[in-house]
Structure 1
């Protein structure tokens, strides 16, 4: 299994790209940048890593592309992780890529680091509705909510754990689906958030969905720092133990912050009977603004 062994944080403004040292042999990242922080991150990665490896997951073909080489899902275990010190760029990679990379590195008993750069803000919609709630224009609709192979199972007897973000329609798509049991839902709220007051944005953008689900289910709430995968992992484990006691499968829907998705991917790799959900939304250009804190988590493989 893989566990977090250290957590380092720094401000982007404190990092001089002209004077950083090369620390890694290989870094996995997404091939396309969509905002200011991903542009900065890519420049940073080229400075601190000898080799930058593009990786992407295609849910239609169910295959992982690493350095332009396509691996079918059943072939992923055959991929030999590169030798040397490894870094994963969670700023640009989505949940499916993180999940499969964690799986590969855990299988190969490799230690690795994960980097994530927080934004200073997110892009708001120009539309101003009667309710005066600020909504966010972060992504285009994808394929819809699906189980991510090989973390699949029977969803009719699962215990659902949903991570709330700024896009309430993603939660709405889940609770209005006939596939998933929404009679027993736990919601994770990122608190403290990246910035003071952002938790109110999460609640306001999910208010209608939370009202709907609370009238038809036994809804519970968990709170963990929006940038804290360690506390998030602990909450997942508690819900997992409750699900196991009731002989149910844990169904994770990490649609909130990326650090929370990191915890979800880590937990799924470390445990059995975990279903992972994702809706494959497409990130919009300029979805966020600025660049703030840089997090670096070290993951160690333990027997």
Structure 2
């Protein structure tokens, strides 16, 4: 008795849904607010100098001692500082320096921390021991005090400030990448690459490291806020960029003697620093929620089931 050998009809397979990262970030409340705020900051950086151009006061270094500490008016929307310089112009130009310091410090920290963390987690042994003891020594110093000591050794200036803040923050990236690499290096696809005869170096840089960068992407916006705060603190102490560069932390330091007589001189740059740090922190929080598959799967559950699940530590 023969059985029917009619060909089987394949079941339809749903096409994978392509949900882009930017679309998910815009749907998330925290990251949406952070992106809107950052868009405003970058618009000020790009177009702000064009809006304040056209008059002598558009130069952030232009001084007019006869108009010292003028209140807000039609000619000076936010008033003037102790040397008669337009406060709005200095805030607009200062955004470029402050954001540049934060981005530069984080980029340098990533360029140092990611390779060290990858080598430490992949090769282990004496390489891991050496790198981790170096990181332990760096982490033994408080973050701000280490940056302060480095600036004191290197001297004030924009480049030295970026280097000092980066050297104080790169250990976080080393630890993050190392933990991620330790997990990824044991995955089946890395074992398959080794079985095919791929060299260890190629396995690290082509297979392990690209799949270990998600924590770095999440941590980078948070580190941007921390770098801006550290750089502003150093500028407040007079160890930031050289005067008369209108950096927000330096503007705070120049106005600290006016905290009681003219508090608006500290209020404006302080609010700008607060808004920039808040924007980066909101973006980082949203990216963590969007890129963590456990949080995404949790949010797809009904509310009554979500309440029964244990919450993630720190949330």
Fold shared per TM-score above 0.5 = no
TM-score under structure 1 normalisation? 0.26
Higher relative contact order (CA 8 A, sep 6+): 1
TM-score under structure 2 normalisation? 0.26
Which has the larger strand fraction? Answer: 1
Which has the greater radius of gyration?
2
Which has the larger helix fraction? Answer: 2
